[in-house]
Amino acid sequence: MKIRSFVFGAVCLAAVLAIVSCESKERKFPTHAVELLVPFGAGGGADTTARAIQPLLAEELGVPVRITNVPGGASAVGTIQAFSQPADGYTILVVTQSTTLVDVFKRMPFKFIDEFVPLARMQTEIAALWAAPDSKFKSIQDVLDHARAGGMITVTGSSPGGLDEALIEAFNFSAGINLTLVPLQSIGERMAAVIGGHVDLVVDYPSALMDMASIGGIVPLVFLSDDPIDFPKFAHVPHSGQVGITGMNPLRLWRILAVRKDTPQDVQDVLVNALHNVVTHPTYQTWETANGMDMMPSWLGPQETRMLLSYTENQLAEIFRALGRL
């Protein structure tokens, strides 16, 4: 009887150990902190998004998530640093069209799209053309009429070779006009220029200008979208498709998270599932709404995001090729 009880106990113990062992193996990722590498400085849109994701992702993964800012080279410096890390899922790169443009202009010794795999698109934003409240341009039709009559109109945006220039050139092409880009590095410089009357318009995103727009310090004239958008705060503002200007949709700003292409598939799956839970979390959705980032659905899974990356690269290459820059 004692022998039988001992054998039964040993069998039970072995079964428990086997279950614990299986659970341990299933929990092999993550076992320590995960890094969100932002290839831009602190305070910008990509950094702000990473900081909104950080606590929710840490909760999902059960390990700390730290943010590392590595600015420089229009995202090239940070992307190269992410490429130098092991393909183990512990370094997640924040990606925007700036990274795609680095590929277009061949500013790195490798192509991002060949060496990384996207986990998800976490956010989409739609740019607008904005004017000072005392501007002579009270509507986008005023802008079009003035430009088509031969008048000069200046628009400030970020440095040449970036998404802002692509947006303005696509707008010019579709509208048959010639808005002149005046590049300025910081949002502070751009706002001072348009409010001070040194330039006529600024191209930027609601998330960057929401606070000033809320007090009437800056006025949106048109959202650069072929299709209607859902933005109750600015429901009176037309989208560019309403005034016959199209070709804007491929240039919507997105923020994607990616890892090295050789990252094990089971690790990618853990991260994708965690990120989907982040995007659908009420805290994240409330943050998006408060910052004007909920005009269209944010989430795209890995396959769709891969297609988006390829499509965007082709569109941007076409625009800058037409400008004689490639």
* CA pair distance 234, 239, nearest whole angstrom: 10
pLDDT value for 161? 79
In-domain check, residue 9: no
What's the confidence (pLDDT) of residue 13?
46
- Is the residue at 23 inside a domain? no
Is residue 54 situated within a structural domain? yes
Same domain, 195 and 215: yes
**pLDDT for res 26:** 57
Give the per-residue pLDDT at 2: 47
Q: What is the largest CA-CA distance in the chain?
A: 104
What token pair was written down for 131?
């004017």
Question: Is the pLDDT reported for residue 1 higher than 90?
Answer: no
User: Quick check: helix, strand or coil at residue 164?
Assistant: helix
Q: Based on the fold, state whether residues 244 and 162 are members of the same structural domain.
A: yes
The alpha carbon dihedral of 251, 56, 265, 77 has a sign of: positive
Mean confidence (pLDDT) of the chain = 90
Is there a single domain that holds both residue 120 and residue 55?
A: yes
Whether residue 272 sits in one domain with residue 262: yes
* 13 falls within a domain: no
Question: Does residue 19 fall inside a structural domain?
Answer: no
Worst-scoring range by mean pLDDT, 25-29, 291-295, 298-302, 317-321? 25-29
The model's confidence at residue 296, banded by pLDDT at 50, 70 and 90, is: confident
Averaged pLDDT for residues 128-157: 97
Separation between Cα atoms, residue 272 and residue 3, nearest integer Å: 50
**Cβ proximity of 167 and 127 under 8 Å:** yes
Question: At 304, which CATH number?
Answer: 3.40.190.150
| Whether 161 and 102 share a structural domain | no
Segment 233-272, tens digit of pLDDT: 899 999 999 999 999 988 999 999 999 999 999 999 999 9
Select from 250, 277, 302 the last residue of a domain: 250
> How many domains does one find in the chain?
2
pLDDT of residue 144: 98
176-190 mean pLDDT:
90
113 and 89 fall within a common domain: yes
Q: Are residues 237 and 167 in the same domain?
A: yes
**CATH, residue 192:** 3.40.190.10
Place of tokens 């009420």: 282
Share of the chain above pLDDT 90, in %: 71
Q: Residue 90 corresponds to which amino acid?
A: Y
- What is the domain extent for residue 216? 128-250
Question: Is the pLDDT assigned to residue 55 strictly greater than 90?
Answer: yes
Which band of pLDDT confidence, cut at 50, 70 and 90, is reported for residue 27?
low
Assigned domain for 85 exists: yes
Per-residue pLDDT tens over the stretch 273-288: 999 999 999 999 999 9
Q: Which of helix, strand or coil describes residue 37?
A: strand
Provide mean pLDDT across the span 84-92.
98
**Is residue 22 over pLDDT 90?**
no
Q: What mean pLDDT comes out for the span 172-181?
A: 96
Has residue 196 been placed in a domain?
Answer: yes
For residues 119 and 296, the model is more confident at: 119
Q: Which of 231, 250, 269 is the last residue of a domain?
A: 250
Q: Are residues 183 and 229 in the same domain?
A: yes
